[in-house]
Structure 1
Amino acid sequence: MSRLEESGVTERYRQGQARIGARLSALVLGSWRRTFRPTDIQGSAAEWIDDVMPAVRESRGRSRRLSGAYVRIIRALSIGSTLPPLDAEGPTLNATTLGDLADDFADELDEPRRRYDNGPTRVLIDADDGWPDSDRESEDRRATVSLSVTGPVRVRRYANELDQRGRLDDPDFLRDLARITDEAGASAAGAAGREALMGGRDLVHGLAETDSRIIGWARVPDEDPCWLCSMLASRGAVYRSELTARFRNTGRRRFDPEAPDQYHTNCQCVPVPIYSRTDWIPPESLRYQRDWLRVTNGLGGAEARAAWRQYITAQRRERRANT
């Protein structure tokens, strides 16, 4: 039997969250192609939103539950204690085992349960700590706005521009409108995937207010992150004081390229909770830390970000050329 370790658990977690986002994106795009009509933007947009929102809610819930199972097991591996089950009602046990936590995690991943040689390890449950609440109405409003802006609103804006140059019986006009509709559908599908994964991301970041043992986060990117994601991953551990101060001083969630809680459309990064200054840090973050110091030596602010963007873009282009 193998041992349950932080690195393996985290990679399974990242991949599981990516699958949740990808499945929802595919579903939303399929609904867009069936439902949305650029000749009836207002009517078909409402029909499309009504069609996909139940799936958005379900995927957001899955992402949240997966993050909850992940936090419970990663906390246990790090400091030997864990949180009560997510959304538990009534009294809970005062202890569990690594094996039980691993089973819950596998269930959320839709994976077969595995046996581990450290599975019988006893883990205390910290009943005084808990989980942040979720505001489902606010999350629904955010998702509706995101889907509308990236999908129907985008088509309407470009259709109005095209209408100044063509007519509905003009083949060129119709061809351009079809292209714009396809592009907007892909954009909205990506936005839906992002909204799904925010269920888990918001849960992890919200632990700043509810889990007394958490000290910060690290960002785990996918295998080919963009310049922004790799830059944020290069920060390593971001401590809770920075994130809580940012929320209190600026509110959520204007885009800030330096903010540790920023996630763009089609981003597959996940936040990893840090419970000890000796915790495992993803090797990708350590590599990006070294590269950042070398690439941005003597630079700061926008100049440093520009140099990093150029460096990462060149690396990604080279990887694609070699595959």
Structure 2
Amino acid sequence: MTAPVPASESDAASVAFHLALTQIGVATIQDALDLWSNVPPARTTALSAAWLARAVRLVMIRRRQSRDLAMAYYRLARALRTGTTIADPRRPAPPYVTLSMLRAEFTALTSPEAPQEDAEEPAGTTSRPIPERPAESGPEPESRPTDTPEEDRVPVETIDGLDRELERLEREAEAEARLVLEVLGLDNLDSKLNEIDEELPASEVDAMRAEAHRKAGAHQAAAAERVAMNGARSTTWATAERDRRVLGYVRLSRTGTPCGWCAMLISRGAVYRSEQSAIYADGDKYHDGCHCYCEVIYTREQFDQSSLTSLNRRYRAEWKTHIADKGFKGKAALTEWRRRIRREQREAARLARARPGDAA
């Protein structure tokens, strides 16, 4: 493959990737809430331990799904933008593949009609089956294109040490999942229940217990979503950190209405490896409920020309005009920026609500 293809296909693949990742997040929340519904307020130690083990397993299956999605997208996007791709670190790679192979690999993980293998669900869940890769007895080489014209070949490059880093990240993620689910779910529920005055009428006590259970469930579900979606985010980040063709990244918002902190990161525009290390590292930070992700940058023209980065370009200009040029710095700058973003989003929501009435 002698040259990258038009950027429009790369941008479309990015949108498809983020939609699929968001769907994984939504499914994780529903799974987590379904499983949490089996935890009564008056829980027992044995029941709590069983719930935690099942919840962690559920999150890690969803995380693996998002990790597979990210690797397929990374391989396709790199080929589209640079004319070369990387090896999947989980299996030996051929010297080259084709764009058709990479497109098929990606489509298999983003298409609603794609066949998926059902994983065994934790007892007590009622959500849809969780797709995952079949158990592997050992690494299998990628299929090698035969009789492919040289101009259709996409060279495959291997990134040393990536397999070990991804394995380390999964171990850390499992430990994090266990911690946050216990703290935000079980411990949080206990704390809220202990604040209830048992001398109140029984109906009020029951209502307060139900509300405590609901809030704790929502918190643990949001954490479950973040850990699962971070399977894709950390895979992208770890790969890009070791990829010599990567210049930097840009943070993208799926919703277009990011929180103030994420909007600040988005306003930085393209962040290159030459930036301060602390600023560069902010790209791998996400909060519960966050639907942002980082898009890898291979050329400086990519940021200026892509339709995906229009919000970044607008926020960068607004930060300069309304924050930097007015002398705001440090915490004061972030506070003013958050205030401005909230005001802008409230006004946009008001106008959106008013449109149907105006049309009438």
Same fold (TM over 0.5): yes
- Answer yes or no: is 1:188 the counterpart of 2:220: yes
Instruction: State the Cα distance separating 1:61 from its structure 2 match.
Output: 0.6
Greater Rg, structure 1 or structure 2?
2
- Answer yes or no: is 1:278 the counterpart of 2:306: no
- Answer yes or no: is 1:107 the counterpart of 2:111: no
Deviations 1:10-63 (A, max 9, x none): 111111110001101101101111x11111264433222222222211110111
1:232 maps to 265
Deviations 1:104-135 (A, max 9, x none): 1111113569xxxxxx8432111355734222
**Structure 2 residue identity aligned to 1:17:** L
Deviations 1:195-239 (A, max 9, x none): 101111111111254322222111111222211222211112222
Superposed, which structure 2 residues align to 1:87-98 within 5 Å?
87-88=90-91, 90=92, 92-98=93-99
1:11 maps to 15
Contact 1:41 1:152 in 2 (8 A): no
Shifted more, 297-306 versus 120-129: the winner is 120-129
2:153 maps to 122
Instruction: State the Cα distance separating 1:181 from its structure 2 match.
Output: 1.0
> Aligned to 2:294, what secondary structure does the other structure show?
strand
TM-score normalised by length of structure 1? 0.85
Instruction: State the Cα distance separating 1:168 from its structure 2 match.
Output: 8.4
Superposed, which structure 2 residues align to 1:7-156 within 5 Å?
7-33=11-37, 35-40=38-43, 42-88=45-91, 90=92, 92-111=93-112, 121-127=152-158, 131=162, 132-135=165-168, 136-156=170-190
Distance (Å, rounded) in 2 between the aligned partners of 1:144 and 1:290:
42
Identity score, percent: 29
Instruction: State the Cα distance separating 1:169 from its structure 2 match.
Output: 6.7
Contact 1:64 1:199 in 2 (8 A): yes
Residues 211 and 201 from structure 1, CA distance in 2 versus in 1: closer, same or farther, beyond 3 angstroms?
Answer: same
Distance (Å, rounded) in 1 between the aligned partners of 2:289 and 2:159:
36
Contact 1:233 1:288 in 2 (8 A): yes
Shifted more, 186-195 versus 170-179: the winner is 170-179
Shifted more, 8-17 versus 151-160: the winner is 151-160
Quote the RMSD (CA, aligned, Å). 2.5
- Answer yes or no: is 1:269 the counterpart of 2:292: yes
2:122 maps to none
> Aligned to 1:133, what secondary structure does the other structure show?
helix
Distance (Å, rounded) in 1 between the aligned partners of 2:195 and 2:274:
46
Instruction: State the Cα distance separating 1:241 from its structure 2 match.
Output: 5.4
Residues 242 and 143 from structure 1, CA distance in 2 versus in 1: closer, same or farther, beyond 3 angstroms?
Answer: farther
1:174 maps to 206
Deviations 1:238-296 (A, max 9, x none): 223558x44xxxxxxxxx9x922211111111111112222245222112212222231
> Aligned to 1:17, what secondary structure does the other structure show?
helix
Instruction: State the Cα distance separating 1:71 from its structure 2 match.
Output: 0.9
Distance (Å, rounded) in 2 between the aligned partners of 1:111 and 1:171:
45
**Structure 2 residue identity aligned to 1:109:** T
1:116 maps to none
> Aligned to 2:183, what secondary structure does the other structure show?
helix
Distance (Å, rounded) in 1 between the aligned partners of 2:81 and 2:11:
12
Contact 1:130 1:211 in 2 (8 A): no
- Answer yes or no: is 1:293 the counterpart of 2:320: yes
Residues 76 and 208 from structure 1, CA distance in 2 versus in 1: closer, same or farther, beyond 3 angstroms?
Answer: closer
Unaligned runs of 5+ in 2: 1-5, 115-150, 354-360
Residues 242 and 63 from structure 1, CA distance in 2 versus in 1: closer, same or farther, beyond 3 angstroms?
Answer: farther
> Aligned to 2:300, what secondary structure does the other structure show?
coil
Deviations 1:158-212 (A, max 9, x none): 22222xx324873323221211110111111111110101111111111254322
1:306 maps to 335
Contact 1:66 1:105 in 2 (8 A): yes
**Structure 1 residue identity aligned to 2:265:** L
Shifted more, 49-58 versus 120-129: the winner is 120-129
Distance (Å, rounded) in 2 between the aligned partners of 1:167 and 1:48:
30
> Aligned to 1:266, what secondary structure does the other structure show?
coil
**Structure 2 residue identity aligned to 1:196:** A
Distance (Å, rounded) in 1 between the aligned partners of 2:45 and 2:235:
34
> Aligned to 1:225, what secondary structure does the other structure show?
coil
Distance (Å, rounded) in 2 between the aligned partners of 1:129 and 1:80:
20
Distance (Å, rounded) in 2 between the aligned partners of 1:238 and 1:3:
20
Distance (Å, rounded) in 1 between the aligned partners of 2:44 and 2:313:
47
1:317 maps to 346
Contact 2:78 2:84 in 1 (8 A): yes
**Structure 1 residue identity aligned to 2:181:** L
